[in-house]
Structure 1
């Protein structure tokens, strides 16, 4: 018997299957799968290399230059990840375990020396119970780069190596745990790809969080440059307040953070936040593209370390120009882009700093 109601239902299902997917859901899933997850995977690889590097260096199978290069690679991978800190890495104090910055009172050096003077055995298990100040990349950098630590001296190397190895192992374990949480059933990869779920009622909530995290990271880039520039200290430069100042990796870290933020904007194959702007917002898209290009260009033109640039007026002038460029990128995202995407940003993690 012919049943019109059944036919209508079948047609509705067929049409629903062919209907275009929510652009925000498509963008969220594409960013999760093609931008964010690969960045987390690169971070894990860098930390695996770091852990192996610590062991090889301490066993005399790797020289100090190689160990330092492996640290810089891990630092850059972490910096690139910071504009993408959604989910478990942004929770439970985990980010502090990776890097303790700003270190306004030189706590890293003080607490490392106190820990080593205590005489207790140091291994990954004991380190996990210690302060976050001594668990992360800033502590690792202190051991490898501080001018007062002569690792060519056998006794000095023997003093610091157990902690170096423990930090490397701790970073690898933490990174692998975060990546596993991302890939687990119902983890962040799934939550950013299929809606609704227990974290996001719809794709717009996911896009809003991605933009909030990106805006916070862009604000942090300004802080990482503005603090040593003396923007908060009446123009008096504070070179020892820079991120990764001992390794002269401050500007490289800044560049990696900008790369991570721009990856969220562009996406892969054009499937980023930029794709969500309607054609009427073509001018805004062009402004943001130009702002990123300007900041990248100014960074690339700085051929000297941050500490060197801070020593003369010409260097400071170039750094201030870079700061202004980063500020433009930040303000365009915080104001114009948020408004265009209908996102209420509220407070960010840097408010009150």
Structure 2
């Protein structure tokens, strides 16, 4: 596959295009980087599949005996699986592209509350809630946000609301669909391996995926809901606002970059004569992750808490530093940002 073909493909996906500023500095070590990336990303998909399977089992156990202990286990396993997805969310090519799987796992942003509307529509219908029916419906009802609505939305607050047959049926169908998606990603990523490892252009695609994730963390996942991007602060713009777990998801994304993106980045920067830049990036990444790990789990509540808001501003500054290092990395490796189809006119 030529670089021109890859750029055209990325443009269709609405991602920032990548061009090469002269000969790519990472060419000699790109096969080693891709081998490391393939292994590390595969391990993350396996974690997602295992967590999804456990979540499905916990949903079944809760519906069989909906007591407080089973409910706590269900909520914990939902977060565990959601965090597992965040750890590999930066990958935006390959099997995750099939059937809009990333959207199936996490429909976000959701400015029109489509998740809430779709879940309520299912709760108000007599149609059977099956994995097959969920798979055939909108991505707004297929993923972690839909389960979050069932577990944490105020409309589900009355005692035992989740334990009703309609709600439990939907809970099991959505969690089953998530488990199936995770298992399919493991299988398909393994099958994708030979093509990925043997195709030079996936080096640029993987670099772009990791660096774009930093921009998304900075701009979409922090600046917008905190009102740091020229807009009014709005907690409803945050991920996982219903469960108040936004910061836990950010922490998981940073952790995923540590063990799934950094391993392939290091040999590329070493080949480019920039091992110190790799160390700087690794240090900044770990500092941001550690800060997130010690913070309160929610973002929306911090809007009314001066101390918590200051902590989030500090995290934003650290992730901004990571984005700046990402720009230096792009320059060191011969990458130049082109038109981003998601930027609008």
Q: TM-score range by the shorter chain?
A: 0.7 to 0.9
Q: Which residue of structure 2 aligns with residue 191 of structure 1?
A: 195
Listed as ranges, the gaps of 5+ residues in structure 1 are 1-20
Q: Following the alignment from structure 1 to structure 2, what is the Cα–Cα distance between the partners of residues 345 and 262?
A: 23
Which residue number corresponds to residue 31 of structure 2? 25
- Tell me whether 1:209 sits opposite 2:205 in the alignment: yes
Q: Which residue of 1 aligns with 2:179?
A: 172
Equivalents in 2 of 1:142, 1:273: separation in Å? 37
Q: Label 1:159 to 1:150 Cα distance change in 2 as closer, same or farther (>3 A).
A: farther
Aligned partner of 2:77 in structure 1 is: 70
SS at match of 1:105: coil
The runs of 5 or more residues in structure 2 that have no matched partner are 1-26
1:232 Cα shift? 4.2
CA apart distance, 1:307: 2.9
Pair 1:60 & 2:53 matched = no
Q: Which has the higher contact order (CA 8 A, sep 6+)?
A: 2
CA distance in 2, matches of 1:65, 1:233: 39
Structure 1 segments of 4+ aligned residues over 4 angstroms from their partners:
347-350
- In structure 2, the residue matched to 1:225 is 222
Alpha-carbon distance, 1:273 to partner: 0.6
Q: How does 1:224-243 map to 2 (within 5 A)?
A: 224-232=221-229, 234=231, 236-243=232-239
1:176 CA drift (Å): 1.4
- Per the alignment, do residues 145 and 233 of structure 1 end up closer, same or farther by CA in structure 2, a change over 3 Å counting? farther
Q: How far 1:347 moved relative to its partner? A: 4.5
Q: Which residue of 2 aligns with 1:153?
A: 160
> C-alpha distance in 2, partners of 1:276/1:155?
49
- Pick which of 309-318 and 212-221 moved more: 309-318
Which residue pairs with 1:274 in the alignment? 266
**Structure 2 equivalent of residue 318 of structure 1:** 311
Query: Quick one: distance in 1 between partners of 2:77 and 2:297?
Result: 20
Partner of 2:250: 254
Q: Secondary structure at the match of 2:233?
A: coil
Contact 1:216 1:350 in 2 (8 A): no
Residues 98-142 of structure 1, C-alpha deviations (whole Å, 9 max, x = no match): 111112122211221122223222211111121111111100111
SS of the equivalent of 1:346 reads: strand
Question: Which residue does 1:329 correspond to in 2?
Answer: 322
> Normalising to structure 2: TM-score of the pair?
0.84
Q: Is the 8 A contact 1:274 1:285 kept in 2?
A: yes
Distance 1:180 1:285, change over 3 A: closer
Q: CA deviation at 1:242?
A: 1.2
Cα–Cα, structure 1 residues 176 and 53, in superposed 2: closer, same or farther, change >3 Å? same
Q: 1:183 to 1:309 in 2, by over 3 A?
A: same
154-163 vs 316-325, which deviates more? 154-163
Counterparts of 1:232 and 1:220, CA distance in 2: 12
**Matched residues, number:** 315
Give the stretch that moved more between structures: 67-76 or 302-311.
302-311
Please tell me whether residue 38 in structure 1 is matched to residue 43 in structure 2. yes
TM-score, normalised on structure 1?
Answer: 0.82
Residue 150 of structure 2 aligns with which residue? 143
